[in-house]
Amino acid sequence: MTPPLVITAAITGSVTSADETPHLPISWDEIVEAAVTSSAAGAAIIHLHAREPDGTPTQDPEIFRELVDRINSAGCEAILNLSTGSAGGRANLEQRSECLELGPEMATLDCGSMNFGEERVFSNPYSWLRDTAHRMRALGIRPEIEAFDTGMIANGRRLIDEGAIEGPGVWQLCLGVSGGAPADLSTVAHMLGQLPAGAAWSLLGIGIHQLELNMLSIAFGGHARTGLEDNIYYRRGELAESNAQLVARVVRLAGEFGRPVATPVEARALLGITPARDEAAA
């Protein structure tokens, strides 16, 4: 039986800007609204980046705390997956992991360094990966292992072998980024073949590749990520009006393939996540 489809909505990111699309949520109220409406549309996971009040990306843990509190207070039951990225190159390694002290259910772990576009090197030293993974495990946070090429899969597997991450892991294969692996069929097949047996996996496609990889994920038993962080268009030449619109399209596609869409409760069970709210109630 094909497992329910876990949909992640990446609602704002740290690279996309309001200059590219007026529909990108950048204020705190807009980010909260995007989280709530994306969850209502079918997203079980909200991938969350933080932004200053003026929209500048940041890794400030107090801003993360504000956003998390507001999203939870708005009744959103989705899993919140906090970014440990560099806020577009603005945060150092120590600052990047400070949001973990909030104890989110999930957080990203970009498992290697790479050229990111033309001007920036996204640095993720293995020593930092190991320390961050151990901290996540100590806090009961489920890492989303992000891999932009096969070398990052090797790093993630090494962290599992060393006991820093509980295997077989939750994996996000990120394709189509300039400097990373291309979003083509042979690359997808090769990277999936490198994952540990039984791993939960999802595909992320940048720009025009978003819809293609959504369909591949749905058809072959993976999970799917969509959202304005990765792609601002609904179709060629037509800007997406919201994150919820992109989520709703994935839900419709899942229906065509006979894939049920996972609720947040079902997603937690599938991904081995202990609900943070249950812990708080205990």
pLDDT of 52: 97
* Domain-embedded: residue 96: yes
* Domain-embedded: residue 2: no
pLDDT in tens, 44-99: 999 999 999 999 999 999 999 999 999 999 999 999 999 999 999 999 999 999 99
Burial of 274 (0-12, 13-18, 19+ CB in 10 A): exposed
| pLDDT reading at 35 higher than 70 | yes
pLDDT in tens, 220-257: 999 999 999 999 999 999 999 999 999 999 999 999 99
pLDDT of 275: 72
| pLDDT reading at 280 higher than 60 | no
C-beta of residue 273 within 8 angstroms of C-beta of residue 142: yes
C-beta of residue 100 within 8 angstroms of C-beta of residue 107: yes
| pLDDT reading at 279 higher than 50 | no
pLDDT of 278: 46
The CA-based diameter of the chain, rounded to the nearest angstrom, is 50
With cut-offs at 50, 70 and 90, classify the pLDDT of residue 118.
confident
| pLDDT reading at 139 higher than 80 | yes
pLDDT in tens, 164-220: 999 999 999 999 999 999 999 999 999 999 999 999 999 999 999 999 999 999 999
Domain that holds residue 206: 7-281
* Domain-embedded: residue 1: no
Distances (CA, A) of 152 to 46, 145, 183, 195, 216: 23, 9, 16, 11, 21
Phi-psi region of 163 (alpha: psi -120 to 50; beta: other; left: phi over 0): left
Say which DSSP state 263 is in.
P
| pLDDT reading at 117 higher than 90 | no
Q: How many domains does the chain have?
A: 1
With cut-offs at 50, 70 and 90, classify the pLDDT of residue 3.
confident
CATH code assigned at 226: 3.20.20.70
What is the rounded radius of gyration, in angstroms, for the C-alpha atoms of the chain? 17
